[in-house]
Structure 1
Amino acid sequence: MTVPVRRVVPVDGIPMSGLFVAADDPQAVIIALHGGASSAAYFDCPGHPELSFLRAAAAAGFSAVALDRPGYGASAPYSDAMWEPERRVQLAYAAADAMLGKRQRGAGLFILAHSNGCELALRMAVTERGQDLSGLELAGTGLHQYPAARAILKQATPTHRPAGLRELIWAPEDLYPADVINAVGSAGAPPQEAEISTNWAGRDFAALAGHVTAPVRFTAAEHERVWDSTPEALADIAALFAKSPRVEIHHQSGAGHNLSLSVAAAQYHSSILSFVEQCITDDVNREAG
């Protein structure tokens, strides 16, 4: 089993960090973006290699880069230089490029994102470079938060975890290995994170999604307690991606908000990799006419 390597690369004088796995002749490259108050370790479940997305990707013949999003990890001291969304996009692409170096990239790039990482993923997708993405996998987000979740989350700050937050993010606890809960958190969140969260559901999600031209799969966890995942809500989300050639809604049973750390992670990751392979096949067929 390929073991992910932690990398720190300079991008315009800013250290960008993440975890990296390389396949010798990759089918494609997957860029993975974690959610809020987390880190790249979200995609390499600590102490449970069988639940690691990065290891599963490498075993299936993909190279993968799980970035510490701009403002997290090694770049945390430089977060004041990251208020502009375009800057965060540039840093993410450049960090992935630096980690990949001259290695082969197969069919190109695919982006996987969780929770607040979906904001960066969509911004990357709507750039000129994003027109060449093989596809996107989004999870742990939505257009509307459940009222109970909204009441708890509006009290949260970088230094204050309100009562009920653990249950919101990690319940039901029997869906996660006991030693994993809270094991991948970051030391804090960059100041931009509050602004991202505030503007996401009511403005940015819809505004960005309408310009995405890559195939999209949106995953709703069976026990998602933050975001409205009713059939009506999921239909509204799918409708946002009007320019995408393919939009799928995936329901992941046996998982809560943190899908890639749950006991269902291996099944979830397998379904992602199958979707990536289908996107690649569709690209080949389209080019063949």
Structure 2
Amino acid sequence: MPLSIRCRAVLRGRFLPSHHVYGPIAVFRLGPHRPTDKDDHVSVDRTDRKKTLPTHSAGVRPLLLEAAGLTLSGLVAEPEGTPRATVVAVHGGGMRAGYFDGQAHPDLSLLMLGARLGFTVLALDRPGYGRSAAQVPAGLTLGEQAVVLPAALDAFAERYETGRGFLMLAHSYGGKLALTTAARSPGLLLALDVSGLGHRYAVEPADLPRIRHHVHWERTWGPLGLYPPGTFRAAQALVAPMPSREGAEVTLWPGMFDELAPRVGVPLRLTFAEHEAWWLHGRAHIADLTARLERAPLVRVERQAGAGHNISLGRAARPYHLRALAFFEECLESAGEADAPEMCVGPAVTAP
């Protein structure tokens, strides 16, 4: 039998560091393998092994911003003419800004889609990633990052047209930073869209330090069929080590959320993937989460069918991004109206 490369969520062989806070995204074992029905969903497509992929899309440009003594790297895409607003995309733990410009399929890129629909889209490498990793190799705490991020947006606004203001789309650990920033810097953001983040872990807190280094494949990615061919080769350009100071705060999030949630005063949309396994998102948990966001004028919770935790790298990326941008359009439309929208929990959303 010819040699084959198989994905395994076991700690042997060669692996890429995780985009996520908890460990490796995949492990590749080279050797003979007898396929079984159980293994069908963890096969790496031949395209992953052969296809050479660019680091960013045509029309997307790298940029550097000086903010609070750090040099932050990132990607930017601009529309033709004046932007409607600027979407700021904030990546999760162990990933980089390119998470929002997936190269495995043209439909993945939030930057390209947003620019085509009239938005400027800025995806930043958070402090401790990209260019700033050399300056702060241990990274920064959430509180410290929430000081740097507004400074970066100020620096961006000095060089680029931002339209009606900043909208933020964040994933996983980036959602923690987005919520922290919204709570600490009222008036900075017009609206916030977060995926891959809840307020209570679906694993025991005592197990989190161990899980950071021994992640289970299905928990992080879900079925491989959710992702287009070429995903894991492209991911090699996106992943980065998670800074130690971020990892040290992982178990603190439930308490941090409870403290900051009552101070979040912007419209908020939360999306949980069909195969989301890191967070509790049943009816009772969603009710508890939304009840804590008492100052937010609108709280909408949706579910994305056909998606794993990494929504923006999967086949559901385009419908998810379109719904996020539609939410931002609603917020822009209602901005400045006398009556704030009524708080609600939105209906489940079924992806095509």
Q: Deviations 1:165-209 (Å, cap 9, x if unpaired)?
A: x321111111011321344543311122113312112x1112111
Matched, 1:10 2:63: no
User: Which residue of the other structure, out of 71, 86, 96, is the alignment partner of 1:39?
Assistant: 96
Greater CA drift, 10-19 or 228-237: 10-19
Count of aligned pairs: 281
Distance apart, 1:25 and its partner CA: 1.0
Is it true that 1:118 corresponds to 2:175 in the alignment?
yes
2 CA distance for matches of 1:17 and 1:255? 28
State the partner residue of 2:247. Answer: 194
Query: How far apart in 2 are the matches of 1:232 and 1:18?
Result: 38
What is the match of residue 259 of structure 2? 207
Aligned to 2:231: 180
Alignment of 1:1-289 (within 5 A): 3-23=59-79, 24-79=81-136, 83=140, 85-128=142-185, 130-147=186-203, 153-157=208-212, 161-162=213-214, 164=216, 166-181=217-232, 182-183=235-236, 185-201=238-254, 203-286=255-338
Shift of residue 82 of structure 1? 5.4
Residue aligned with 1:134, SS: strand
User: Per-residue deviation at 1:228?
Assistant: 1.1
Change (3 A) 1:42 1:237: same
Q: Which runs of 5+ in 1 are unaligned?
A: none
Contact persistence 1:152–1:163 (CA under 8 A): no
CA distance in 1, matches of 2:146, 2:203: 31
The one-letter amino acid of 1:176's match is Y
Contact 1:38 1:184 in 2 (8 A): no
Q: How far apart are the structure 2 equivalents of 1:235 and 1:199?
A: 21
C-alpha deviation, 1:151, in angstroms: 7.6
Task: Label 1:58 to 1:277 Cα distance change in 2 as closer, same or farther (>3 A).
Answer: same
Quote the sequence identity (%). 35
TM-score normalised by length of structure 2: 0.74
2: distance between equivalents of 1:152 and 1:52?
34
Q: TM-score normalized by structure 1?
A: 0.89
Q: Which amino acid aligns with 1:178?
A: P
- What residue identity is the alignment partner of 2:174? G
The unaligned stretches of length 5 or more in structure 2 are: 1-56, 341-352
Give the Cα–Cα distance (whole angstroms) in 1 for the partners of residues 251 and 333 of structure 2: 38
Q: 1: distance between equivalents of 2:339 and 2:300?
A: 22
Structure 1 residue 102, shift from structure 2 partner: 3.6
Distance verdict in 2 for CA 1:3–1:195, change over 3 Å: same
Q: Which moved more, 1:203-212 or 1:45-54?
A: 45-54
Query: Alpha-carbon deviations, 1:147-167, whole Å to 9, x = none?
Result: 38x68743145xxx4152x32
SS in 1 for 2:249: helix
1:62-87 per-residue CA deviation (whole Å, 9 max, x = no partner) reads 11111111111111122268545443
Larger helix proportion of the pair = 1
